[in-house]
Each structure stands twice: as structure tokens, then as C-alpha cells.
């Protein structure tokens, strides 16, 4: 039976540290601010934005919400981003994805100042992550690394398998494991012998977006299993990419959904925003 990796507890510790450091900055006259931009009325996006605002209040940040209508043009959004780039009260800028179809997400990401890009999606920050010389890390992969560290399992020398190759999770996740001297395999929909590859993983990170995709026969006995997925099953219940009930019998450590990776993403956003404030202060 696997040990549960408690994302709520680990994220609470991260936010507590951020709060302590935020208070120290405030004593020096520095207030940390995060701007969150949401376009349209996507219900999931609204939940995420509300959670981010709540976390800001918890750690002592100022939060600035910009809720724009669905019909907002790309130019109007870019003008807002440019305004926020020049606003000294704003240390971090987060444009909630996905955006309406008529807006080019890449154009918006590229418009955010790299020193305020607390999602770490800007090509300049992605490049820094590739070479291991970074200020910010994408929030979800950074949170996964914190969860792995909380188990006491060393990444160095381990066979690490990432299922998924997205720019937001899969690719940066592989780079972070590589920076810790893991031997990394990225798998995806075109991978042959996927089950056999996964079954050889000491550390398995599932970020594929399919409920119950990882089955028991894909898990090595004693593995660390990290479930990044956030899906709804046929009954409408929140679940991950991993068949939790079956896989927990084989894994040594496993994250639940909810309560695993999810809380870490927002905690790491808070850490990135604090880092951004420090960089801009210099």
C-alpha cells in the first residue's frame, strides 16, 4: 500500500514560507502585487482565478483582477498587458488560459515582460529553463518537484518517465527531472510499448489528460507516482490520469486527486511572484 503524498500539507508549507518572506519585504516598504487577467466566462477559469486571489490574500500579496468580456479583441488585451508591464505595483502578470479562439495565446504570452512572467511561459524563460539558469519555473512542474522532494526519494540516477509532452507540463517536467540527474523518458500518444516503458519507471509523472489512463500494469512496484491529471469520470467525479485504487497497491508513494498536485500549482505561483518582486527590486 502506497504512502499518500499530501499536496495540501506541502503547499501550506510553501505558502507559509512565502508569507514570512513577504512580511519581511513589507517591513522594508515593498508590497508584492499579482495581476490576473481573465477573458470570458469559462467556469473552470473563474474557479482558478478565485483560488489565486485567495492565495494572494493568504500570503499577503496585493491582487489585481482584470475580468474582460469574451469579445475583447487581441489588440485590447495586448494593450492591457503592456500597461501592466509598466505598472510598478504589479510584480507578476498571469493571463488565465485558455483564451477565446480569436486571440493568439502565443502573442499574448510573448507580450508579457519576462521578469513579470510568473507562469514561466515566455520563450526567454523557457530557454533559461532548458539551460538550467532560471529565475522562474512553470508552476505545475515546480510543484511536482516539491512533492517528490517531500518523499525523501532522490531523483538522481532514477528512471523517470513523463507521460505527456505539453509546453506547460510535459516538456518542462522532463527538464527539471533531468536537472536533478534523473534519466528521463518523455512518452506520448505515438510512443510504442508505452506500458513497458512506464513499468520500468522509478518515478512516473502522468500528465496526459485522460481519466484512469495509467493502469496497475504500468506501475513498477515501489515507484513514485505523480498524477497531474484533472478530469471528470462518467459519474462526474473529479479524478486524475491514474487509476488510483489499483495503482496505490503497487506504488511506494502516490498523489491523490484532488489534494495532490493541484494545491502545489498555486503555491508555486506565489513563490514565483515573490521571486519576481525581488528581481524587480534589484
Mean of per-residue pLDDT scores for the chain: 96
Whether 103 is covered by a domain: the verdict is yes
Whether 177 is covered by a domain: the verdict is yes
Rounded mean pLDDT, 185-214: 96
Q: Kindly state whether residues 156 and 108 are assigned to the same domain.
A: no
The CATH number assigned to the domain holding 198 equals: 3.40.50.720
Q: Kindly state whether residues 144 and 222 are assigned to the same domain.
A: yes
pLDDT higher at 237 or 33: 33
The x, y and z cell numbers of residue 164, run together, are 505527456
Q: Which of the four pLDDT bands, split at 50, 70 and 90, describes residue 44? A: confident
Q: Kindly state whether residues 145 and 90 are assigned to the same domain.
A: no
**Number of residues that make up the chain:** 282
φ/ψ of residue 84, rounded to 5: -70, -35
Q: Output the pLDDT for position 64.
A: 98
d(CA 119, CA 19): 19
Number of domains in the chain: 2
Residues catalogued as catalytic: 52, 96, 119
Q: Output the pLDDT for position 28.
A: 94
pLDDT higher than 90, residue 203 = yes
Instruction: Check: CB of residue 8 under 8 Å from CB of residue 255.
Output: no
Instruction: Check: CB of residue 220 under 8 Å from CB of residue 249.
Output: no
How many alpha carbons lie under 13 Å from residue 256 in its C-beta half-sphere? 10
Q: Write out the DSSP string of 66-100.
A: EEE-TT--HHHHHHHHHHHHT-TT--EEEEPSSPP
On whether the pTM is more than 0.75, the answer is yes
Q: Output the pLDDT for position 235.
A: 85
pLDDT > 90: percent of the chain: 95
pLDDT higher than 90, residue 236 = no
What are the residues whose beta carbons fall under 8 Å from the beta carbon of 94, sequence distance 6 or more? 34, 35, 36, 37, 52, 118, 119, 269
Give per-residue pLDDT as tens, 88-108: 999 999 999 999 999 999 999
Tell me the residue range of the domain where 35 lies.
29-115
d(CA 168, CA 6): 23
Whether 13 is covered by a domain: the verdict is no
pLDDT higher than 90, residue 234 = no
Rounded mean pLDDT, 235-260: 95
Give per-residue pLDDT as tens, 115-158: 999 999 999 999 999 999 999 999 999 999 999 999 999 999 99
Amino acid at each position: 500500500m502506497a504512502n499518500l503524498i499530501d499536496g495540501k500539507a506541502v503547499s501550506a508549507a510553501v505558502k507559509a514560507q512565502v508569507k514570512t518572506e513577504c512580511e519581511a519585504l513589507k517591513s522594508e516598504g515593498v508590497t508584492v502585487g499579482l495581476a490576473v487577467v481573465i477573458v470570458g466566462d469559462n467556469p473552470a477559469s473563474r474557479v482558478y482565478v478565485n483560488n489565486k486571489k485567495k492565495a494572494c490574500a493568504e500570503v499577503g500579496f496585493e491582487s489585481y483582477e482584470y475580468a474582460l468580456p469574451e469579445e475583447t479583441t487581441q489588440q485590447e488585451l495586448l494593450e492591457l498587458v503592456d500597461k501592466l508591464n509598466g505598472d510598478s505595483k504589479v510584480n507578476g502578470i498571469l493571463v488565465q488560459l485558455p483564451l477565446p479562439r480569436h486571440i493568439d495565446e502565443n502573442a499574448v504570452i510573448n507580450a508579457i515582460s519576462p521578469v513579470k512572467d510568473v507562469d514561466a511561459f515566455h520563450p526567454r524563460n523557457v530557454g533559461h529553463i532548458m539551460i538550467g539558469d532560471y529565475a522562474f519555473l512553470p508552476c505545475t512542474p515546480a510543484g511536482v518537484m516539491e512533492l517528490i522532494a517531500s518523499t525523501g526519494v532522490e531523483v538522481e540516477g532514477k528512471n523517470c518517465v513523463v507521460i505527456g509532452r505539453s509546453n506547460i507540463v510535459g516538456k518542462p517536467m522532463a527538464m527539471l527531472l533531468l536537472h536533478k540527474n534523473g534519466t528521463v523518458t518523455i512518452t506520448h500518444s505515438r510512443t510504442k510499448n508505452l506500458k513497458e516503458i512506464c513499468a520500468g519507471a522509478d518515478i512516473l509523472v502522468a500528465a496526459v489528460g485522460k481519466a484512469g489512463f495509467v493502469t496497475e500494469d504500468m506501475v513498477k512496484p515501489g515507484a513514485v507516482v505523480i498524477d497531474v491529471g484533472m478530469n471528470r469520470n462518467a459519474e462526474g467525479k473529479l479524478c486524475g490520469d491514474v487509476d488510483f485504487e489499483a495503482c496505490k497497491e503497487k506504488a511506494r508513494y502516490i498523489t491523490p486527486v484532488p489534494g495532490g498536485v493541484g494545491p502545489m500549482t498555486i503555491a508555486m505561483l506565489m513563490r514565483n511572484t515573490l521571486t519576481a518582486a525581488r528581481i524587480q527590486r534589484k
